[in-house]
Amino acid sequence: MKTEVIKIDINNISQEKINYAAEILKAGGLVAFPTETVYGLGANALQKEAVRKIFAAKGRPSDNPLIVHIADIASLDSLVVEKPPIWEPLAHKFWPGPLTMIFKKSSVIPDEITAGLDTVAIRMPVHPIAMALIKASGLPIAAPSANSSGYPSPTLASHVYEDLNGKIDLIIDGGKADVGLESTVLDITVDPPLILRPGGVTLEQLRTIKSDISLDPALANEPETDFTLTSQANLNTDEFLKHKRRDLQGKFIPKSPGLKYKHYAPKAQMVIVDGELDKIVSTINNLVQDIKNSKKRIGILATEQTKDYYKVDTKGNENIVVMSLGSRDCPEEIAANLFKRFREMDEQKVDVIFAEGISKNGIGLAIMNRMKKAAGFNIIKV
Ligand code: TXA
Ligand code: MG
């Protein structure tokens, strides 16, 4: 299949191009489009053959359900059978925007979308191109992130092209996705509502609507204290990389099926070093020293505050790549850069990435969630 790419200017949206893309969706085709979080891979949510194509193009396991995107509140009624009262203040405050809510599904939603669950995830994106496309199609649009399954979500049209060229009908290039991380998935079928996936809307923001909204215990119990360095003598990077890698499958079962897979991951083996900032830097420098004579190519995901502190040890070593995720004072910047940096590290063909942990406040919770999954929960606490 030939994948066509068209550019649409977010500040001057061509209705003609939107209609062209909408026709493809109506005919059962696949269209990748920008949203404020990440690029989505859209199909007619009411047509199971179209939905199946999404799974095929992404190589997505069929037990991982999709989010249905709508452009107006009125569309909700035919898709769900029950609206717990909390939906309304949440929608009022956060829709359109990066919040996905889980409802009991109606019979118009094919099982292909929900992977057999009796619930359906619904989101109203705020990106004007996404909005215009959904409106023009007149359909609810199923759209997972437009990456190959397991890879980092795309924040640029070029990322979608890398992963899905030849597998989908159309890519709308509408510039970069601003938030850079996916929507927050909130289960409102339970009381108090549970965050199944942290994302663009923060826990703190959600709690302004209902103070007892909390994290799915499966998230809170993630094995992040997996590996603690007790002394420098224990620091053997190769050993660590070989033996401490955790296989998630079977260790815990989160309610959001997508979260049980290794995810968002660069091709390189990734290790997070988390704790006090000066110790993070010295530990990463030690880890680099430890393996720099091996043939491994090493990536360091640093921050504006720390990136220069790796130069001393890495000077003259062509096998070390240092990149900044952004400033610790602006976690939104780190969120917006994270997946792009993962892909850039892959382009640099690094074998190992040492990534600095960051604070879990606000959007930091979602950033660390994605980093931990990308690292297969390899975390060194310092
Ligand atoms: O920001 C986003 O949410 C992006 C853009 C394109 O809208 N979409 C996205 O979709 O991230 P996807 O498929 O990559 O992630 C959907 C997540 C998965 O973790 C999935 O398991 C969960 O939502 N999910 C979907 N339906 C669910 C349901 N009925 N119950 C629990 N979790 C569900
Ligand atoms: Mg995804």
Q: In this structure, are 343 and 331 located in the same domain?
A: yes
Q: In this structure, are 356 and 241 located in the same domain?
A: yes
Q: In this structure, are 62 and 173 located in the same domain?
A: yes
Q: In this structure, are 189 and 248 located in the same domain?
A: no
Q: In this structure, are 116 and 175 located in the same domain?
A: yes
Q: Which residues contact 127 (CB under 8 A, 6 or more apart)?
A: 10, 34, 35, 36, 174, 177
What pLDDT is stored for residue 133 in this prediction?
98
3-state secondary structure of 375: coil
For 51, 92, 237, 283, 358, the CA distances from 203, given in Å and listed in that order, are 31, 17, 35, 31, 17
Q: Which ligand 1 atom minimizes the distance to the CA of 98?
A: 1
Residues in the chain, pLDDT under 50: 225-235, 243-254, 313
How many residues are given for the chain? 382
What pLDDT is stored for residue 312 in this prediction?
52
Contact, 157 vs 34, CB < 8 A? yes
The residue type of 82 is: E
Full-prediction pTM beyond 0.85? yes
Q: How far is the CA of 348 from the centre of ligand 1 (A)?
A: 30
Last residue of a domain, one of 169, 197, 218: 218
Q: In this structure, are 275 and 209 located in the same domain?
A: no
150 lines ligand 1 (CB under 6 A): no
CA gap 61, 160 in Å, rounded: 19
H helices of the chain, in order, are 15-26, 48-58, 76-79, 87-94, 111-114, 128-137, 157-164, 203-207, 217-220, 237-243, 277-291, 311-314, 331-347, 364-374
Q: How far is the CA of 315 from the centre of ligand 2 (A)?
A: 37
**Hey, what are 323's tokens?**
């990149």
Over the stretch 199-245, which tens digit does the pLDDT of each residue have? 999 999 999 999 999 999 888 777 654 444 443 434 456 555 554 44
Q: In this structure, are 147 and 235 located in the same domain?
A: no
What pLDDT is stored for residue 315 in this prediction?
57
213 lines ligand 1 (CB under 6 A): no
What pLDDT is stored for residue 249 in this prediction?
34
Q: How far is the CA of 182 from the centre of ligand 2 (A)?
A: 8
What pLDDT is stored for residue 258 in this prediction?
52
Q: In this structure, are 22 and 57 located in the same domain?
A: yes
Number of H helices, E strands in the chain: 14, 17
**Hey, what are 339's tokens?**
């997946």
Domain with residue 95: its CATH number is 3.90.870.10
3-state secondary structure of 4: strand
Q: How far is the CA of 143 from the centre of ligand 1 (A)?
A: 8
What pLDDT is stored for residue 241 in this prediction?
56
Strand partners, 356: 273
**Hey, what are 314's tokens?**
């890495």
Domain with residue 318: its CATH number is 3.40.50.11030
Contact, 57 vs 29, CB < 8 A? no
Over the stretch 353-381, which tens digit does the pLDDT of each residue have? 999 999 999 999 999 999 998 988 888 98
Parent domain of 21: 4-218
Q: In this structure, are 206 and 310 located in the same domain?
A: no
Count of structural domains within the chain = 2
What pLDDT is stored for residue 233 in this prediction?
37
Q: In this structure, are 58 and 171 located in the same domain?
A: yes
- Ligand 2 is an ion; its neighbours by CB within 5 Å are 145
Last residue of a domain, one of 218, 247, 274: 218
Last residue of a domain, one of 170, 203, 218: 218
Q: In this structure, are 168 and 255 located in the same domain?
A: no
Nearest CA to ligand 1 atom 7: 40
Q: In this structure, are 300 and 284 located in the same domain?
A: yes
Q: Which residues contact 70 (CB under 8 A, 6 or more apart)?
A: 76, 79, 122, 123, 124, 134, 140, 141
Contact, 229 vs 381, CB < 8 A? yes
Nearest CA to ligand 1 atom 3: 183
Q: Rounded to a whole number, what is the largest CA-CA distance in the chain?
A: 65
Q: How far is the CA of 194 from the centre of ligand 1 (A)?
A: 14
CA gap 22, 17 in Å, rounded: 9
Q: Which ligand 1 atom minimizes the distance to the CA of 113?
A: 26
